[in-house]
């Protein structure tokens, strides 16, 4: 009997020792990634409490988009830590290294930050990309170096622009940011897209009312140059999910942006516009074509939408 006691005691000690498992798994069996390399860097005067309260009190009836309230560059763009604050756009839409290889984006959702219905909503936003573009989202795997961690810290709705390597955060404050169009918008940033109204040719399409913009927020209306961004020949899009609202950063309740075309609404929160889809397809054509013709990328089963509602 003595040898049996020794074996049992050894088993108990081994279980209690806290030795790290080879890989950690979430509630659905998906791997849990290490902490992202890029968690976000905030200015010293960033008022987290005020911003969090503004986000929490926002409703879909508000004229402004909720992501415009997040207190970052252009509202919701997190600047890469290595980018100089006065020139954050050395990497942009035209930089192929910022794109996701094969048009596949590994992701991890911090399940403790969201309830079941909210996770379902986030996945439905991903599903729109699956159904309308060649892009694919799939759960993080242990072999992934690059991935997006979706969390819900009280710091607004925000993302870095494009792929930055070794993990990056997409934040969806809860409550406040868990709306279909908001999730689609932030995913567009993570894919490599900036805001529509700052396109180089925007003055042909909209008028910026500088006199109505809050003091210190004027930089949010700067234009990108043609060396950084492109519309892939598709053109300006009033209906883009990436377009500012008409009252973005208004100090007096008056419009800060008006369209030069009559009877046009600026932006929307429903999801991808037709031109959004066309631009995604153009940006990722090479990556998606390479994925479809190569066995080195994930199989069709791994990047299907069947995992969306597991």
The annotation places the binding site for Zn(2+) at 185, 189, 195
d(CA 53, CA 154): 9
Judge whether 49 counts as a catalytic residue.
Answer: no
Which tokens sit at 33?
Answer: 């990634």
The number of angstroms, rounded, from the C-alpha of 217 to the middle of its chain's C-alpha atoms is 22
d(CA 275, CA 281): 10
What are the binding residues? 185, 189, 195
Catalytic entry in 68, 74, 128, 186: 186
Which residues are part of the catalytic machinery?
Answer: 186
């Amino acid at each position: 009997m003595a040898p049996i006691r020794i074996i049992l005691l050894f088993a108990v000690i081994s279980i209690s020792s806290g030795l790290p498992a080879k890989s950690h798994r979430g509630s659905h069996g998906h791997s849990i990634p290490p902490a992202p390399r890029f968690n976000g860097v905030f200015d010293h005067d960033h008022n987290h409490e005020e911003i969090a309260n503004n986000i929490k009190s926002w409703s879909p009836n508000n004229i402004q988009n909720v992501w415009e309230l997040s207190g970052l560059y252009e509202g919701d763009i997190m600047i890469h830590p290595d980018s100089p604050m006065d020139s954050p756009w050395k990497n942009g839409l035209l930089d192929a290294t910022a794109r996701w290889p094969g048009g596949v984006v590994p992701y991890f959702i911090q399940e403790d930050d969201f309830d079941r219905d909210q996770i379902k909503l986030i996945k439905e936003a991903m599903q729109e990309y699956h159904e309308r573009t060649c892009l694919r989202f799939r759960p993080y795997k242990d072999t992934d170096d690059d991935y997006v961690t979706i969390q819900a810290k009280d710091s607004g709705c925000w993302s870095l622009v494009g792929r930055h390597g070794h993990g990056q955060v997409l934040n969806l404050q809860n409550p406040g940011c868990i709306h279909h169009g908001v999730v689609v918008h932030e995913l567009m940033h993570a894919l490599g897209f900036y805001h529509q109204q700052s396109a180089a040719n925007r003055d042909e399409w909209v008028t910026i009312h500088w006199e109505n913009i809050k003091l210190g927020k004027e930089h949010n209306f700067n234009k990108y140059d043609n060396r950084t961004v492109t519309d892939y020949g598709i053109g300006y899009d009033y209906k883009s999910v990436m377009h500012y609202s008409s009252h973005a950063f208004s100090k007096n309740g008056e419009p800060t942006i008006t369209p030069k075309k009559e009877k046009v609404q600026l932006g929307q929160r429903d999801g991808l516009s037709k031109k959004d889809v066309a631009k995604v397809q153009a940006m990722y054509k090479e990556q998606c074509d390479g994925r479809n013709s190569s066995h080195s990328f994930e199989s069709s089963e791994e990047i299907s939408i069947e995992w969306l509602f597991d």
